[in-house]
Chain A
Amino acid sequence: MDEKLTVTIDSNFAPTHDLTPLAPRAAPLDMPRQVLEHAARPSPFEMVSRLFLRNV
């Protein structure tokens, strides 16, 4: 850890300073959302609607 802190605790167990520097160092990774559901099939009514109302 780059930034070590000595944490002091008050009588209410409350840390007297921010603990954010204790967080793991940032090194972002992309994590794409997986597809687990098939795209919902349009109902016959929706298909007819699309056919006739596509330019509306």
Chain B
Amino acid sequence: MRTSRIVGISFALLCMVAAAATLAQAGLNTGFDVWDGASVLLIAITTGWLAWGAAQAFIGLPALAPAPRTTLMSGHFPATAILVPICNENPVEVCARVQAMRQSLARAGVPADFAILSDTSDPDALRAERAALASLFDPTDGLNTVYYRVREDRRGRKAGNVEDFIRRSGGNYTYVVLLDADSLMEGEAIRHLVARMEANPGLGLLQTLPRIVGAATAFGRAMQFSASFHSPVFARGLARMQGPAGPFWGHNAIARVRALAQCCGLPELTGPPPFGGTILSHDYVEAALLVRGGWQVEMDPRIDGSFEEGPENLLAFARRDRRWCQGNLQHIRLLNAPGLRKWSRFVFFQGIVSYLVSLAWGAFLIVSLLAAATAGAPNYFPDAYQLFPVFPDDRTFQIVALACGVGGLLLLPKLAIYAESVVTGRAQQFGGTLRALGSVLAETLLTALIAPLMLMYQSRAAAEVLSGRDGGWPATARGEGRLGWIEGWRAGRWITLFGVAVSIFVLRAAPDLVVWLLPVTLPMVFAPFLITVTSWPVLVGAFGVPQETSLPPVVADYRRNLARGTDPKGTADGAIVRAA
């Protein structure tokens, strides 16, 4: 663990210094000015961040040892509750998911209870929720009782919802499995989690790596593929570096109730939002508090049977990202929190930088343009009495080297993960070597196209939070996969405007840079088109993932249950929304 951390941080620092030195050298060739200084600083930040991500992938390339084979004593299953916090959700989907997991638990012989913890506020949605869930409270049900409670004092959002359960009913249980409203877990996976907790009394929380299921649009399927193909390797790297001070992602995890009660009563931060008030990204904080309390927090990407759904279009992704941005930047307040482990502080720092780095990329772009625009014409005869002209040094080599380095940090991890999948045979699960390569290339192309849009959305989100604007924690609209042209135009028109303005500025001030900037300006100009088109459904063959070729039983049951269900009625504003 220590070696992995040192290797990862050293690699990031090395790349950071190399990029800064290359750009500084290019600046020195032509007289180092204030623009060069700013560029060097910004490229150091952005490259360092890219290299840190790449290091995680490289460290995660070797396979982990097989997961420990733990078994529970026969006849003994510790009291376990599966918590399903919901808030103005589609109740038919919630019912179908709980029913599917109950079927899976019954097959596995796991006697865990469900607790549906509702924060639903809209009276119509509440009526629909109660009606849809009624079928779960069947007195003939066997092993898995379903409880349901509605919270009227909705303080603390999802973390407060879970906390309320622990405070009122936690004494009934040894473990809680924490889910999101769109989570699905196999009964066998839950049995494995409980057995792992029983085998290690010091383990406070065990996080799984959920696979995304059910994506239908180009954007959603690309994310689903990436989460299945790339994420396990990144997660292995993360697991190696974090060790027993691992992450908690808020759902698809098991926790020891005693540890949660002891360490995770979250306070309100002093001052108003966005930096004060309720802690929004509570999961990172809870993980840090558990570690502070002496508990181990582990993430294990080897655990199968854990699923969730992802955003189906760029707009939904950006909306979720706005919430996460505010939550992560709020952690600036917690960097100096008393008693935290250094690694926990570093995890907060990482989360903060992950959003600030978009601002740094944007600033780098602007500084580069201003530097080019304000550069005077070359002076070939700087001395009064000079026979031969002095040509300015060419910066092309350094700039090309830098571009190759940054491109390499973006592409090499993906290519390395593809090579790993071929060597280990994992590519076969993704349709074979060629089909997996096609998916990797298509996903890379799509990511490159939407990267400038994500940069704009993230920069706007970070700027809003830093200027003190509270975005709250609005629920994400669901069931909105395909966007219309008008929705796409509304969502992307400000990016188009910015892209056109930048293009005109570059054409007038630094025409030599026009071609270099096309990969950034073209997607910006066509932002509404990209947002709309990537929300269209694609053929199931594209971006194929193993969980489609062999549908996990709990997912199959969920779909069957949903098909038997009725249309949700009376939901707030007619929208199907989910809890954060």
Q: Which residues of A contact B (CB under 8 A)?
A: 1, 4-7, 9, 12-15, 19-20, 22-38, 40
Contact = CB atoms under 8 A, between A and B. Distances in A.
A34 B289 contact: yes
B147 interface: yes
Contacts of A31: 163, 166-167, 170, 260-262, 264-265
Interface stretch (B333-341, B422-430, B435-443): B333-341
Given A13-B570, A32-B265, A36-B334, 11 more contacts: A1-B146, A15-B130, A15-B134, A22-B148, A24-B172, A25-B169, A28-B170, A31-B167, A34-B289, A36-B285, A37-B337
A9 B288 CA distance: 45
Contact of A23 (B128, B134, B148, B257): B148
B121 interface: no
A29 B336 contact: no
6 contacts: A7-B130, A19-B148, A26-B169, A31-B170, A36-B266, A37-B267
A24 to B, nearest CB: 4
Nearest to B81: A24
A11 to B, nearest CB: 11
Nearest to B169: A24
Nearest to B124: A13
A27 B262 CA distance: 15
Interface in B333-370: 333-334, 336-338
A15 B131 contact: yes
Given A29-B261, A31-B264, A33-B267, A9 B169 contact: no
A20 B150 CA distance: 9
A14 B167 CA distance: 29
A4 B150 CA distance: 17
A54 to B, nearest CB: 25
B168 A24 contact: yes
B508 interface: no
Interface residues of B, number: 46
B127 A14 contact: yes
- Main DSSP-derived SS at the A contact region: loop
Which of A23, A32, A34 is the most central at the interface, judged by chain B CB atoms within 10 Å of its CB?
A34
Contacts of A14: 127, 130-131
Contact of A22 (B137, B169, B260, B569): B137
Contacts of B168: 24, 26-28
A23 to B, nearest CB: 4
Interface string B153-167: 000000000010111
B497 interface: no
Interface string B243-283: 00000000000000100111111110110000000010000
A9 to B, nearest CB: 5
A32 to B, nearest CB: 5
Contacts of A37: 267, 269-270, 333, 337
A37 to B, nearest CB: 6
Contacts of B338: 35-36, 38
B130 A19 contact: yes
Which of B163, B285, B337 is the most central at the interface, judged by chain A CB atoms within 10 Å of its CB?
B337
Contacts of A26: 168-169
A25 B169 CA distance: 6
Contacts of B279: 36
B433 interface: no
A28 B167 contact: yes
B149 interface: yes
Interface in B166-185: 166-172
A13 B227 CA distance: 39
A13 B571 CA distance: 11
Nearest to A31: B265
B261 A30 contact: yes
A26 B485 CA distance: 52
A13 B261 contact: no
Contacts of A15: 127, 130-131, 134
A32 B569 CA distance: 40
Contacts of B522: none
A39 to B, nearest CB: 9
Contacts of A40: 270
Given A24-B168, A25-B172, A34 B147 contact: no
Interface in B74-122: 81, 113, 115
B22 interface: no
B134 A7 contact: yes
Contacts of A36: 266-267, 269, 279, 285, 333-334, 337-338
Nearest to B117: A24
B470 to A, nearest CB: 19
A34 B569 contact: no
Given A23-B149, A24-B115, A24-B172, A9 B131 contact: yes
Contacts of A7: 130, 134, 137
A34 B265 contact: yes
B68 interface: no
B145 interface: yes
Contacts of B134: 7, 9, 15
A22 to B, nearest CB: 5
Contacts of A38: 336, 338
A34 B266 contact: yes
Nearest to A15: B130
B139 interface: yes
A30 to B, nearest CB: 7
A22 B260 CA distance: 24
Contacts of A19: 130, 148, 150
Interface string B562-575: 00000001100000
A33 B268 CA distance: 9
